[in-house]
Protein backbone atom coordinates (compact mmCIF):
# COMPACT_ATOMS: atom_id res chain seq x y z
CA UNK A 1 0.00 0.00 0.00
CA UNK A 2 1.30 3.45 -0.93
CA UNK A 3 2.36 5.56 2.03
CA UNK A 4 0.43 8.79 2.67
CA UNK A 5 1.06 11.70 5.00
CA UNK A 6 -0.75 11.24 8.28
CA UNK A 7 -2.21 14.76 8.06
CA UNK A 8 -2.21 17.94 6.01
CA UNK A 9 0.08 19.55 8.57
CA UNK A 10 2.74 16.89 8.16
CA UNK A 11 2.68 17.39 4.37
CA UNK A 12 3.07 21.14 4.85
CA UNK A 13 5.94 20.65 7.31
CA UNK A 14 7.65 18.15 5.01
CA UNK A 15 7.24 20.28 1.88
CA UNK A 16 8.28 23.45 3.69
CA UNK A 17 11.21 21.48 5.11
CA UNK A 18 12.19 20.54 1.58
CA UNK A 19 11.90 24.15 0.42
CA UNK A 20 13.37 25.82 3.51
CA UNK A 21 17.02 24.89 3.67
CA UNK A 22 20.48 26.29 3.13
CA UNK A 23 19.02 27.96 0.05
CA UNK A 24 16.98 30.28 2.29
CA UNK A 25 19.42 30.94 5.09
CA UNK A 26 22.85 30.47 3.49
CA UNK A 27 22.34 31.26 -0.21
CA UNK A 28 19.46 33.75 -0.28
CA UNK A 29 21.14 36.41 1.90
CA UNK A 30 24.47 36.32 0.07
CA UNK A 31 23.01 36.43 -3.44
CA UNK A 32 20.67 39.21 -2.28
CA UNK A 33 23.76 41.11 -1.18
CA UNK A 34 25.63 40.36 -4.41
CA UNK A 35 22.82 41.31 -6.79
CA UNK A 36 21.56 44.59 -5.46
CA UNK A 37 19.46 43.95 -2.36
CA UNK A 38 15.96 45.27 -3.04
CA UNK A 39 16.15 44.88 -6.80
CA UNK A 40 17.06 41.21 -6.44
CA UNK A 41 14.22 40.59 -3.97
CA UNK A 42 11.87 42.33 -6.42
CA UNK A 43 13.03 39.99 -9.21
CA UNK A 44 12.82 37.01 -6.86
CA UNK A 45 9.23 37.72 -5.84
CA UNK A 46 8.23 38.06 -9.51
CA UNK A 47 9.81 34.68 -10.24
CA UNK A 48 8.09 33.09 -7.25
CA UNK A 49 4.64 34.34 -8.30
CA UNK A 50 4.83 33.87 -12.08
CA UNK A 51 7.06 30.80 -12.26
CA UNK A 52 7.53 29.08 -8.90
CA UNK A 53 3.91 28.92 -7.74
CA UNK A 54 2.36 27.55 -10.99
CA UNK A 55 5.14 24.99 -11.48
CA UNK A 56 4.97 23.80 -7.87
CA UNK A 57 1.22 23.31 -8.30
CA UNK A 58 1.95 21.27 -11.41
CA UNK A 59 4.62 19.15 -9.77
CA UNK A 60 2.46 18.27 -6.77
CA UNK A 61 -0.44 17.44 -9.10
CA UNK A 62 1.74 15.13 -11.20
CA UNK A 63 3.07 13.42 -8.09
CA UNK A 64 -0.33 12.86 -6.54
CA UNK A 65 -1.79 11.51 -9.77
CA UNK A 66 1.11 9.13 -10.37
CA UNK A 67 1.52 8.02 -6.72
CA UNK A 68 5.03 6.71 -7.50
CA UNK A 69 8.62 7.87 -7.75
CA UNK A 70 9.24 10.68 -10.29
CA UNK A 71 10.53 8.28 -12.97
CA UNK A 72 7.61 5.86 -12.70
CA UNK A 73 5.11 8.69 -12.29
CA UNK A 74 6.20 10.32 -15.54
CA UNK A 75 6.22 6.93 -17.27
CA UNK A 76 2.67 6.18 -16.12
CA UNK A 77 1.28 9.64 -16.88
CA UNK A 78 2.86 9.78 -20.33
CA UNK A 79 1.24 6.44 -21.16
CA UNK A 80 -2.07 7.70 -19.76
CA UNK A 81 -1.87 10.77 -22.02
CA UNK A 82 -0.77 8.77 -25.05
CA UNK A 83 2.56 10.60 -25.09
CA UNK A 84 6.06 9.18 -25.69
CA UNK A 85 7.51 7.36 -22.69
CA UNK A 86 10.63 9.50 -23.13
CA UNK A 87 8.89 11.89 -20.72
CA UNK A 88 10.18 9.59 -17.99
CA UNK A 89 13.55 11.28 -18.61
CA UNK A 90 12.08 14.22 -16.72
CA UNK A 91 11.96 12.02 -13.63
CA UNK A 92 15.52 10.83 -14.19
CA UNK A 93 16.72 14.40 -14.59
CA UNK A 94 15.03 15.45 -11.35
CA UNK A 95 16.56 12.58 -9.38
CA UNK A 96 20.01 13.31 -10.85
CA UNK A 97 19.70 17.00 -9.98
CA UNK A 98 18.65 16.17 -6.42
CA UNK A 99 21.62 13.87 -5.89
CA UNK A 100 24.09 16.36 -7.40
CA UNK A 101 22.75 19.17 -5.25
CA UNK A 102 22.87 16.99 -2.14
CA UNK A 103 26.48 16.04 -2.91
CA UNK A 104 27.73 19.60 -2.34
CA UNK A 105 24.89 20.52 0.00
CA UNK A 106 26.17 17.90 2.41
CA UNK A 107 29.69 19.36 2.39
CA UNK A 108 28.34 22.86 3.16
CA UNK A 109 26.07 21.39 5.84
CA UNK A 110 29.10 19.63 7.31
CA UNK A 111 30.85 22.99 7.56
CA UNK A 112 27.74 24.35 9.28
CA UNK A 113 27.93 21.54 11.85
CA UNK A 114 31.60 22.28 12.42
CA UNK A 115 30.86 25.97 12.89
CA UNK A 116 28.12 25.17 15.43
CA UNK A 117 30.75 23.65 17.71
CA UNK A 118 33.27 26.39 16.94
CA UNK A 119 30.74 29.10 17.75
CA UNK A 120 29.79 27.45 21.05
CA UNK A 121 33.47 27.34 22.05
CA UNK A 122 33.75 31.13 21.75
CA UNK A 123 36.40 30.92 19.04
CA UNK A 124 34.94 33.93 17.21
CA UNK A 125 35.26 36.27 20.17
CA UNK A 126 37.38 39.34 19.38
CA UNK A 127 38.64 37.83 16.12
CA UNK A 128 40.12 40.01 13.38
CA UNK A 129 39.18 39.71 9.70
CA UNK A 130 42.30 37.62 9.08
CA UNK A 131 41.53 35.50 12.14
CA UNK A 132 38.02 34.63 10.94
CA UNK A 133 39.32 33.84 7.46
CA UNK A 134 41.96 31.65 9.05
CA UNK A 135 39.29 29.59 10.83
CA UNK A 136 37.55 28.84 7.52
CA UNK A 137 40.84 28.22 5.72
CA UNK A 138 41.90 25.82 8.44
CA UNK A 139 38.73 23.79 7.95
CA UNK A 140 38.76 23.83 4.14
CA UNK A 141 42.48 23.11 3.83
CA UNK A 142 42.16 19.81 5.67
CA UNK A 143 39.99 17.39 3.70
CA UNK A 144 40.07 14.91 6.58
CA UNK A 145 37.95 17.35 8.61
CA UNK A 146 35.61 18.17 5.73
CA UNK A 147 35.28 14.49 4.95
CA UNK A 148 34.40 13.67 8.56
CA UNK A 149 31.67 16.33 8.76
CA UNK A 150 30.37 15.46 5.28
CA UNK A 151 30.17 11.80 6.35
CA UNK A 152 28.39 12.63 9.61
CA UNK A 153 25.77 14.76 7.88
CA UNK A 154 25.10 12.11 5.24
CA UNK A 155 24.79 9.50 8.00
CA UNK A 156 22.12 11.60 9.74
CA UNK A 157 20.28 12.03 6.43
CA UNK A 158 20.40 8.29 5.73
CA UNK A 159 19.17 7.53 9.24
CA UNK A 160 16.16 9.85 8.86
CA UNK A 161 15.12 8.52 5.43
CA UNK A 162 15.79 4.83 6.19
CA UNK A 163 13.13 4.86 8.90
CA UNK A 164 10.41 5.49 6.33
CA UNK A 165 7.84 8.18 5.62
CA UNK A 166 5.98 8.14 8.93
CA UNK A 167 8.68 6.74 11.20
CA UNK A 168 11.51 8.86 9.82
CA UNK A 169 10.63 11.77 7.55
CA UNK A 170 7.44 12.87 9.34
CA UNK A 171 8.95 12.67 12.83
CA UNK A 172 12.11 14.47 11.78
CA UNK A 173 10.42 17.40 10.04
CA UNK A 174 7.76 17.65 12.77
CA UNK A 175 10.59 18.55 15.16
CA UNK A 176 12.94 20.42 12.83
CA UNK A 177 10.52 22.89 11.25
CA UNK A 178 8.91 24.32 14.41
CA UNK A 179 12.37 24.52 16.00
CA UNK A 180 13.72 26.30 12.91
CA UNK A 181 10.95 28.93 13.00
CA UNK A 182 11.48 29.58 16.71
CA UNK A 183 15.24 29.96 16.29
CA UNK A 184 14.81 32.26 13.30
CA UNK A 185 12.36 34.51 15.12
CA UNK A 186 14.77 34.73 18.07
CA UNK A 187 17.56 35.82 15.73
CA UNK A 188 15.35 38.43 14.05
CA UNK A 189 14.38 39.75 17.48
CA UNK A 190 18.05 40.11 18.37
CA UNK A 191 18.84 41.74 15.02
CA UNK A 192 16.14 44.37 15.60
CA UNK A 193 18.21 45.68 18.50
CA UNK A 194 21.58 45.46 16.78
CA UNK A 195 21.59 49.01 15.41
CA UNK A 196 21.50 48.10 11.74
CA UNK A 197 17.87 47.04 11.34
CA UNK A 198 16.61 50.19 9.58
CA UNK A 199 19.52 50.08 7.14
CA UNK A 200 18.76 46.41 6.45
CA UNK A 201 15.08 47.22 5.77
CA UNK A 202 16.10 49.93 3.32
CA UNK A 203 18.64 47.64 1.60
CA UNK A 204 16.20 44.76 1.23
CA UNK A 205 12.97 46.51 0.33
CA UNK A 206 14.02 49.59 -1.66
CA UNK A 207 14.66 48.43 -5.23
CA UNK A 208 17.41 50.33 -7.05
CA UNK A 209 16.48 49.90 -10.71
CA UNK A 210 20.01 50.90 -11.75
CA UNK A 211 21.11 47.49 -10.46
CA UNK A 212 19.37 46.01 -13.52
CA UNK A 213 22.04 47.68 -15.63
CA UNK A 214 25.70 46.88 -16.08
CA UNK A 215 28.17 49.38 -17.47
CA UNK A 216 30.45 48.28 -20.28
CA UNK A 217 33.93 49.76 -20.60
CA UNK A 218 36.05 50.25 -23.72
CA UNK A 219 37.38 46.69 -23.48
CA UNK A 220 33.85 45.30 -23.59
CA UNK A 221 34.01 44.16 -19.95
CA UNK A 222 30.91 44.43 -17.79
CA UNK A 223 31.35 46.55 -14.69
CA UNK A 224 29.01 47.81 -11.99
CA UNK A 225 28.77 51.57 -11.49
CA UNK A 226 31.24 52.49 -14.24
CA UNK A 227 30.69 55.78 -16.06
CA UNK A 228 30.38 54.19 -19.47
CA UNK A 229 27.67 52.80 -21.73
CA UNK A 230 25.06 51.04 -19.63
CA UNK A 231 23.06 48.09 -20.91
CA UNK A 232 20.20 46.14 -19.42
CA UNK A 233 21.20 42.83 -17.86
CA UNK A 234 19.17 39.76 -17.07
CA UNK A 235 21.67 38.68 -14.43
CA UNK A 236 19.54 39.53 -11.34
CA UNK A 237 16.47 37.93 -12.96
CA UNK A 238 18.50 34.92 -14.07
CA UNK A 239 19.90 34.34 -10.59
CA UNK A 240 16.48 35.01 -9.02
CA UNK A 241 14.80 32.43 -11.26
CA UNK A 242 17.46 29.81 -10.56
CA UNK A 243 17.12 30.47 -6.84
CA UNK A 244 13.31 30.28 -7.01
CA UNK A 245 13.65 26.75 -8.39
CA UNK A 246 16.40 25.92 -5.89
CA UNK A 247 14.62 27.19 -2.79
CA UNK A 248 11.22 25.67 -3.72
CA UNK A 249 12.89 22.32 -4.58
CA UNK A 250 11.37 22.43 -8.06
CA UNK A 251 12.61 20.30 -10.93
CA UNK A 252 14.50 17.90 -8.68
CA UNK A 253 11.79 15.31 -8.00
CA UNK A 254 11.43 16.14 -4.30
CA UNK A 255 8.10 17.98 -4.51
CA UNK A 256 6.73 15.44 -7.00
CA UNK A 257 7.72 12.67 -4.58
CA UNK A 258 6.11 14.40 -1.61
CA UNK A 259 3.01 15.05 -3.72
CA UNK A 260 2.71 11.30 -4.32
CA UNK A 261 2.17 10.83 -0.57
CA UNK A 262 -0.66 13.41 -0.49
CA UNK A 263 -4.26 12.31 0.05
CA UNK A 264 -6.53 12.91 -2.95
CA UNK A 265 -9.06 14.83 -0.86
CA UNK A 266 -6.58 17.60 0.03
CA UNK A 267 -6.64 20.86 -1.96
CA UNK A 268 -3.22 21.15 -3.58
CA UNK A 269 -3.92 24.81 -4.34
CA UNK A 270 -4.30 25.67 -0.69
CA UNK A 271 -1.33 23.54 0.33
CA UNK A 272 0.94 25.00 -2.35
CA UNK A 273 0.08 28.57 -1.46
CA UNK A 274 0.87 27.92 2.21
CA UNK A 275 4.21 26.29 1.31
CA UNK A 276 5.29 29.09 -1.05
CA UNK A 277 4.30 31.82 1.41
CA UNK A 278 6.11 30.14 4.32
CA UNK A 279 9.22 29.53 2.23
CA UNK A 280 9.32 33.16 1.09
CA UNK A 281 8.72 34.43 4.62
CA UNK A 282 11.62 32.33 5.93
CA UNK A 283 13.94 33.69 3.22
CA UNK A 284 13.00 37.27 4.06
CA UNK A 285 13.31 36.61 7.80
CA UNK A 286 16.78 35.18 7.19
CA UNK A 287 17.73 38.42 5.48
CA UNK A 288 16.29 40.42 8.38
CA UNK A 289 18.31 38.32 10.81
CA UNK A 290 21.59 38.61 8.89
CA UNK A 291 21.79 42.03 7.22
CA UNK A 292 21.25 44.10 10.41
CA UNK A 293 24.31 42.37 11.90
CA UNK A 294 26.26 43.04 8.72
CA UNK A 295 25.41 46.74 8.63
CA UNK A 296 25.74 47.25 12.39
CA UNK A 297 29.31 46.00 12.20
CA UNK A 298 30.24 47.91 9.04
CA UNK A 299 30.66 44.76 6.97
CA UNK A 300 30.07 44.15 3.27
CA UNK A 301 26.63 42.69 2.37
CA UNK A 302 28.02 41.57 -1.00
CA UNK A 303 30.58 39.25 0.57
CA UNK A 304 29.32 36.27 -1.44
CA UNK A 305 29.35 32.71 -0.05
CA UNK A 306 31.71 33.88 2.70
CA UNK A 307 28.90 35.96 4.20
CA UNK A 308 27.95 33.07 6.47
CA UNK A 309 31.37 31.63 7.24
CA UNK A 310 33.50 34.79 7.35
CA UNK A 311 31.41 37.96 7.65
CA UNK A 312 28.87 36.85 10.26
CA UNK A 313 31.40 35.14 12.59
CA UNK A 314 33.22 38.49 12.66
CA UNK A 315 29.97 40.12 13.78
CA UNK A 316 29.27 37.39 16.36
CA UNK A 317 32.75 37.85 17.79
CA UNK A 318 32.32 41.57 18.38
CA UNK A 319 28.83 41.64 19.92
CA UNK A 320 27.52 41.04 23.41
CA UNK A 321 26.13 37.51 23.63
CA UNK A 322 27.79 36.66 20.33
CA UNK A 323 28.73 33.15 21.43
CA UNK A 324 25.11 32.26 22.16
CA UNK A 325 23.70 34.01 19.06
CA UNK A 326 26.36 32.48 16.80
CA UNK A 327 25.69 28.99 18.12
CA UNK A 328 21.95 29.52 17.69
CA UNK A 329 22.45 30.67 14.12
CA UNK A 330 24.51 27.68 13.00
CA UNK A 331 22.18 25.22 14.75
CA UNK A 332 19.36 26.88 12.79
CA UNK A 333 21.32 26.37 9.58
CA UNK A 334 21.86 22.70 10.42
CA UNK A 335 18.14 22.12 11.00
CA UNK A 336 17.34 23.77 7.67
CA UNK A 337 19.96 21.71 5.84
CA UNK A 338 18.80 18.36 7.24
CA UNK A 339 15.14 18.96 6.40
CA UNK A 340 16.06 19.67 2.77
CA UNK A 341 18.58 16.84 2.48
CA UNK A 342 15.87 14.33 3.37
CA UNK A 343 13.73 15.43 0.42
CA UNK A 344 16.65 15.38 -2.02
CA UNK A 345 17.46 11.72 -1.41
CA UNK A 346 13.89 10.37 -1.09
CA UNK A 347 12.99 10.25 -4.84
CA UNK A 348 15.94 7.98 -5.68
CA UNK A 349 15.26 5.78 -2.65
CA UNK A 350 11.60 5.43 -3.65
CA UNK A 351 12.57 4.47 -7.21
CA UNK A 352 14.94 1.76 -5.98
CA UNK A 353 12.19 0.35 -3.76
CA UNK A 354 9.55 0.38 -6.54
CA UNK A 355 11.61 -0.69 -9.51
CA UNK A 356 14.29 -2.92 -8.03
CA UNK A 357 12.44 -4.40 -5.06
CA UNK A 358 15.16 -3.24 -2.67
CA UNK A 359 14.25 -2.76 0.98
CA UNK A 360 14.16 0.86 2.18
CA UNK A 361 17.17 0.61 4.49
CA UNK A 362 19.39 -0.87 1.80
CA UNK A 363 18.09 1.56 -0.85
CA UNK A 364 18.77 4.53 1.42
CA UNK A 365 22.29 3.38 2.26
CA UNK A 366 23.09 2.73 -1.41
CA UNK A 367 21.87 6.16 -2.47
CA UNK A 368 23.50 7.91 0.45
CA UNK A 369 26.89 6.31 -0.20
CA UNK A 370 26.71 7.25 -3.89
CA UNK A 371 25.90 10.88 -3.01
CA UNK A 372 28.66 10.87 -0.37
CA UNK A 373 31.13 9.72 -3.01
CA UNK A 374 30.11 12.48 -5.46
CA UNK A 375 30.54 14.98 -2.62
CA UNK A 376 34.27 14.26 -2.63
CA UNK A 377 34.50 16.39 -5.79
CA UNK A 378 33.32 19.41 -3.79
CA UNK A 379 35.73 18.69 -0.95
CA UNK A 380 38.69 18.50 -3.31
CA UNK A 381 37.62 21.58 -5.25
CA UNK A 382 38.78 23.72 -2.34
CA UNK A 383 41.92 25.43 -3.64
CA UNK A 384 45.15 24.38 -2.01
CA UNK A 385 43.60 21.44 -0.19
CA UNK A 386 46.09 18.93 1.14
CA UNK A 387 45.49 15.29 1.96
CA UNK A 388 48.47 13.94 3.88
CA UNK A 389 51.51 14.82 1.78
CA UNK A 390 49.54 15.12 -1.47
CA UNK A 391 48.45 18.58 -2.62
CA UNK A 392 45.06 18.44 -4.32
CA UNK A 393 44.93 21.63 -6.36
CA UNK A 394 44.11 20.32 -9.83
CA UNK A 395 40.35 20.02 -9.39
CA UNK A 396 40.17 23.32 -7.56
CA UNK A 397 41.71 25.11 -10.52
CA UNK A 398 39.07 23.94 -12.99
CA UNK A 399 37.15 27.02 -14.08
CA UNK A 400 34.27 27.62 -16.44
CA UNK A 401 33.61 31.03 -17.92
CA UNK A 402 29.94 31.83 -18.41
CA UNK A 403 29.30 35.44 -19.37
CA UNK A 404 30.76 37.58 -16.63
CA UNK A 405 31.24 34.69 -14.20
CA UNK A 406 34.07 32.29 -13.37
CA UNK A 407 33.43 29.09 -11.46
CA UNK A 408 35.48 26.48 -9.66
CA UNK A 409 34.24 22.87 -9.74
CA UNK A 410 31.86 23.30 -6.80
CA UNK A 411 30.39 26.38 -8.46
CA UNK A 412 30.15 24.53 -11.79
CA UNK A 413 27.92 21.90 -10.14
CA UNK A 414 25.92 24.65 -8.41
CA UNK A 415 25.50 26.61 -11.66
CA UNK A 416 24.67 23.52 -13.74
CA UNK A 417 22.00 22.28 -11.34
CA UNK A 418 20.41 25.58 -10.20
CA UNK A 419 20.63 27.47 -13.50
CA UNK A 420 20.37 24.67 -16.09
CA UNK A 421 18.86 21.42 -14.79
CA UNK A 422 16.21 22.87 -12.46
CA UNK A 423 14.83 25.50 -14.87
CA UNK A 424 14.79 22.94 -17.69
CA UNK A 425 13.02 20.47 -15.43
CA UNK A 426 10.48 23.11 -14.42
CA UNK A 427 9.96 24.13 -18.04
CA UNK A 428 9.13 20.59 -19.13
CA UNK A 429 6.95 20.00 -16.06
CA UNK A 430 4.90 23.04 -17.12
CA UNK A 431 4.74 21.81 -20.73
CA UNK A 432 3.65 18.33 -19.66
CA UNK A 433 1.01 19.54 -17.17
CA UNK A 434 -0.34 22.26 -19.45
CA UNK A 435 -0.07 20.69 -22.91
CA UNK A 436 0.42 16.91 -22.68
CA UNK A 437 -1.90 15.79 -19.87
CA UNK A 438 -5.60 15.67 -20.68
CA UNK A 439 -7.44 18.60 -19.17
CA UNK A 440 -9.92 16.38 -17.34
CA UNK A 441 -6.95 14.67 -15.61
CA UNK A 442 -5.60 17.93 -14.21
CA UNK A 443 -9.09 19.15 -13.31
CA UNK A 444 -9.60 16.07 -11.14
CA UNK A 445 -6.37 16.80 -9.26
CA UNK A 446 -7.21 20.45 -8.63
CA UNK A 447 -10.01 20.39 -6.08
CA UNK A 448 -10.32 24.14 -5.65
CA UNK A 449 -13.25 25.83 -3.95
CA UNK A 450 -12.70 28.99 -5.98
CA UNK A 451 -13.74 28.33 -9.57
CA UNK A 452 -11.36 30.98 -10.93
CA UNK A 453 -8.17 29.43 -9.58
CA UNK A 454 -7.94 26.47 -11.96
CA UNK A 455 -8.38 28.59 -15.14
CA UNK A 456 -5.73 31.00 -13.81
CA UNK A 457 -3.30 28.14 -13.18
CA UNK A 458 -4.07 26.62 -16.57
CA UNK A 459 -3.23 29.85 -18.41
CA UNK A 460 -0.10 30.44 -16.33
CA UNK A 461 1.29 26.93 -16.76
CA UNK A 462 0.55 26.78 -20.49
CA UNK A 463 1.78 30.21 -21.53
CA UNK A 464 3.29 32.53 -18.91
CA UNK A 465 5.56 30.27 -16.83
CA UNK A 466 7.19 28.28 -19.66
CA UNK A 467 7.67 31.43 -21.74
CA UNK A 468 9.43 33.27 -18.91
CA UNK A 469 11.61 30.27 -18.07
CA UNK A 470 12.50 29.82 -21.74
CA UNK A 471 13.45 33.47 -22.28
CA UNK A 472 15.59 33.69 -19.16
CA UNK A 473 17.15 30.32 -19.94
CA UNK A 474 18.20 31.55 -23.40
CA UNK A 475 19.99 34.41 -21.67
CA UNK A 476 21.68 32.01 -19.26
CA UNK A 477 23.25 30.00 -22.07
CA UNK A 478 23.98 33.13 -24.11
CA UNK A 479 21.89 32.31 -27.20
CA UNK A 480 19.68 35.36 -26.85
CA UNK A 481 20.49 38.57 -25.05
CA UNK A 482 18.35 41.65 -24.73
For 31, counting Cβ atoms within 10 Å of its Cβ (0-12 exposed, 13-18 middle, 19+ buried), the class is buried
Q: Is the pLDDT of residue 220 over 60?
A: no
- The number of beta carbons lying within 10 Å of the beta carbon of residue 421 is 22
- pLDDT confidence band for 219 (50 / 70 / 90): very low
pLDDT digits (tens, 9 = 90+) for 407-437: 567 778 887 887 788 889 999 999 999 999 9
Residue 387, H or E segment: strand 385-387
Q: Which residues of 150-162 are buried (b: 16+ CB within 10 A; e: fewer)?
A: beebbebbbebbb
For 149, residues 6+ apart whose C-beta sits below 8 A from its C-beta are 107, 110, 111, 113, 114
Confidence at residue 478, expressed as pLDDT on a 0 to 100 scale: 60
For 223-235, the DSSP string reads ESS-SSEEEE--H
- pLDDT confidence band for 260 (50 / 70 / 90): very high
Smallest CA-to-CA distance from 242 within 39, 40, 482 is with 40
Pairing type for strands 213-216 and 229-232 reads antiparallel
Mean pLDDT highest for which of 17-26, 158-167, 377-386, 441-450? Answer: 158-167
Confidence at residue 472, expressed as pLDDT on a 0 to 100 scale: 74
Q: What is the C-alpha separation between 271 and 260, in angstroms, rounded?
A: 14
The four Cα atoms 381, 386, 387, 391 give a dihedral, to 10 degrees, of 90
Smallest CA-to-CA distance from 349 within 109, 149, 162, 153 is with 162
Q: Is the pLDDT of residue 330 over 70?
A: yes
For 243-299, the DSSP string reads HHHHHTTTTSSHHHHHHHTS-TTS-HHHHHHHHHHHHHHHHHHHHHHHHHHHHHTT-
pLDDT digits (tens, 9 = 90+) for 286-306: 899 889 988 988 888 887 777
User: pTM here?
Assistant: 0.86
Q: What is the C-alpha separation between 247 and 18, in angstroms, rounded?
A: 8
φ and ψ at 7, to 5 degrees?
Answer: -160, 170
Averaged confidence pLDDT in the chain: 84
For 31-50, the DSSP string reads HHHHTTTHHHHHHHHHHIII
Confidence at residue 86, expressed as pLDDT on a 0 to 100 scale: 96
Domain locations along the chain: 8-476
Confidence at residue 450, expressed as pLDDT on a 0 to 100 scale: 65
User: How far is the first Cα of the chain from the last one, in angstroms, to the nearest whole number?
Assistant: 52
Q: Is the pLDDT of residue 391 over 50?
A: no
- The number of beta carbons lying within 10 Å of the beta carbon of residue 405 is 12
CB 18 within 8 A of CB 343: yes
- pLDDT confidence band for 62 (50 / 70 / 90): very high
CB 323 within 8 A of CB 125: yes
Confidence at residue 406, expressed as pLDDT on a 0 to 100 scale: 47
Q: Is the pLDDT of residue 465 over 90?
A: yes
For 409-476, the DSSP string reads HHHHHHHIIIIIIHHHHHHHHHHIIIIIS-HHHHHHH---SSTTHHHHHHHIIIIIHHHHHHHHHHHH
- pLDDT confidence band for 190 (50 / 70 / 90): confident
φ and ψ at 401, to 5 degrees?
Answer: -90, 130
For 341, counting Cβ atoms within 10 Å of its Cβ (0-12 exposed, 13-18 middle, 19+ buried), the class is buried
Q: Residue 448: which region, alpha, beta or left (left: phi > 0; alpha: psi -120 to 50)?
A: beta
The share of the chain scoring above pLDDT 70, in percent, equals: 86
The interaxial angle of helices 322-356 and 88-120, nearest 10 deg, is 150
Q: What is the C-alpha separation between 224 and 472, in angstroms, rounded?
A: 21
Q: What single DSSP character describes residue 27?
A: I
402 against 447, higher pLDDT: 447
For 470, counting Cβ atoms within 10 Å of its Cβ (0-12 exposed, 13-18 middle, 19+ buried), the class is middle
| CATH class of domain segment(s) 8-476 | mainly alpha
pLDDT digits (tens, 9 = 90+) for 138-174: 888 888 899 999 999 999 999 999 998 888 888 888 8
CB 103 within 8 A of CB 417: no
DSSP-derived 3-state class of residue 216 = strand
In whole angstroms, how far apart are CA 124 and each of 30, 183, 287, 477? Answer: 20, 20, 21, 41
Amino acid sequence: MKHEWSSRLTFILAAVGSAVGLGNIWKFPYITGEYGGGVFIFAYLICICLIGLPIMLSEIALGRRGKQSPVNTMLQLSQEAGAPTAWSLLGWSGMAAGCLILSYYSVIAGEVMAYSFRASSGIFNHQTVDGVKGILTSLESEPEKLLAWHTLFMALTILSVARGVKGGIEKTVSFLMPALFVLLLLLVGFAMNSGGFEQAIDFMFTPDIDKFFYARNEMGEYLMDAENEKIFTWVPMMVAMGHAFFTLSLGMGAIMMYGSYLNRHVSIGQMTLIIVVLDTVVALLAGLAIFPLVFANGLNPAAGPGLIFETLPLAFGSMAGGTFIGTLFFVLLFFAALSSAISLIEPTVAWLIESKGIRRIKATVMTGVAVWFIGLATIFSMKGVTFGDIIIDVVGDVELEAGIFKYNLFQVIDFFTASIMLPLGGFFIAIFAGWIMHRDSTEREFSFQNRYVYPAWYIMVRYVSPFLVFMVFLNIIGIFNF
